[in-house]
Amino acid sequence: MAHTISEECISCGACESVCPVEAISEGDTQYNIDEDVCIDCGECAETCPVNAISQK
């Protein structure tokens, strides 16, 4: 199951730098996780300073 980023995202980019499979990219208003690439490791969720990332 992939992770997802909620509207609480502050676009800090912390999650993108820790993703081992480069599944996270910057969108227009927040970062996004490509569900087809995400390996559900949870590194992004542990790094997010505002807890905007959770399992889908």
Residue 56, pLDDT score: 84
What pTM, to 2 d.p., does this model score? 0.91
SS (H, E, C) the chain: CCEEECCCCCCCCHHHHHCCCCCEEECCCCEEECCCCCCCCCHHHHHCCCCCEEEC
Which CATH number goes with the domain that contains 39?
Answer: 3.30.70.20
What pLDDT, on the 0 to 100 scale, is given for residue 1? 78
Alpha carbon distance 54, 40 (integer Å): 10
* Whole-number Å distance between alpha carbons of 37 and 56: 14
For residue 47, what are the domain limits?
3-55
* Tokens representing residue 26 in the block: 């910057």
Distance between CA atoms of residues 10 and 1, nearest Å: 23
Count of domains forming the chain: 1
Q: Tens-of-pLDDT digits for all 56 residues of the chain?
A: 799 999 999 999 999 999 999 999 999 999 999 999 999 999 999 999 999 999 98
